[in-house]
Structure 1
Amino acid sequence: MAQESTREKSTASEAESEAEDSDFKPLTARQAQEWRKRQVPLSVWRIVAIQAVMGVLVALLAWWLTGRPQVAWSAGYGALSVVLPAALFARGVSRSRSSAGAAMVGLFGWELVKIALTVAMLVAAPRLVPGLSWLALLAGMVVVMKTYWIALLARPGVRRTD
């Protein structure tokens, strides 16, 4: 009896899944081409440039709020520890690959390089930034990392399909 109940539930969930799948309609070649025209490609270099500008702004804001150049250098170094690895990642990923597998390996490989460089920069921070303020460094990192979301939300040319 318990098996019948389980079978009925799985049959019901399969029927619901098939009903959802039947709503899916693949795009025609013309519809796909129109969709591509509406989607403006977002340059990774533009995101890196926006991050760099935000890093400078955070450093200036830290200096203005505290009046201490050490805090500004700390915030700037925190921003740099995000921007520099992101630029290296963008350079590595933007190269064309021969296959999808090679592109995936490249993506993960460059992400690993990006993380390793960020960690190395953070380890070197006390030796490179005199009077280091870890709080300002962290603030610089967080603001610049959040710039990804701002760049994605504010990208121009994306139109809704109504």
Structure 2
Amino acid sequence: MTSPMLRSVLLQLGAGLVATAIAAVFFGPRGAISAAYGALACIVPAAMFALRLGALARRSGATVTAFVVGEFVKIASIVGLLVLFPALYPGVHWGALLIGLILALKANLFAFLVRN
């Protein structure tokens, strides 16, 4: 069974796939790539944070400080990935990227609907 944080990441992944499909329909391949990157810029740091927090919890070292530092690193990673993308992909479609990012971020609001 997965932890609640990993289930949250899976919900973000599902939202990212939906965002990519929507962007592909409305904006074409360029929009699909941008939406997928926007979603992944949120999903990858969240997954790393969830795995790190889970590992800390198993060895009973999960503290408030570890959580706050991990959250700061996650946010800094998201910002860094978003800044890096235009350099890697000059044809970025900003609207699609924001759709992917926002849907992935807001997927956590629906995590409470998932039963154990």
Q: Which TM bucket (shorter chain)? A: 0.7 to 0.9
Aligned-residue sequence identity (percent) comes to 35
Matched, 1:75 2:60: no
Shift of 1:127: 1.8
| Higher share of residues assigned helix | 2
2:100 to 122, 136, 140: 140
Q: For the Cα contact (< 8 Å) 1:71–1:136, is it kept in 2?
A: yes
| Offset from partner CA, 1:40-77 (integer Å, 9 cap, x none) | x96211111111121012111111123x2111101110
Structure 2: how far apart are the matches of 1:150 and 1:42?
A: 16
Count of aligned pairs: 113
Q: Which one-letter code corresponds to 1:76 in the other structure? A: A
User: With structure 2 as the length reference, what TM-score do the two structures score?
Assistant: 0.87
For residues 10-159 of structure 1, the aligned pairs below 5 Å read: 43-66=4-27, 68-95=28-55, 96=57, 98=60, 103-152=63-112, 154-156=113-115
User: With structure 1 as the length reference, what TM-score do the two structures score?
Assistant: 0.64
Runs in 1 of length 4+ with deviation above 6 angstroms?
Answer: none
Taking structure 1 as reference, are residues 78 and 155 closer, same or farther at Cα in structure 2, changes over 3 Å only? same
Structure 1: how far apart are the matches of 2:48 and 2:11?
A: 15
Structure 1: how far apart are the matches of 2:17 and 2:60?
A: 37
Instruction: Tell me: higher relative CO, structure 1 or 2? Use CA pairs within 8 A at least 6 residues apart.
Output: 2
Taking structure 1 as reference, are residues 56 and 129 closer, same or farther at Cα in structure 2, changes over 3 Å only? farther
Q: For the Cα contact (< 8 Å) 1:42–1:155, is it kept in 2?
A: no
- In angstroms, what is the RMSD of aligned CA positions? 1.8
Q: For the Cα contact (< 8 Å) 1:76–1:137, is it kept in 2?
A: yes
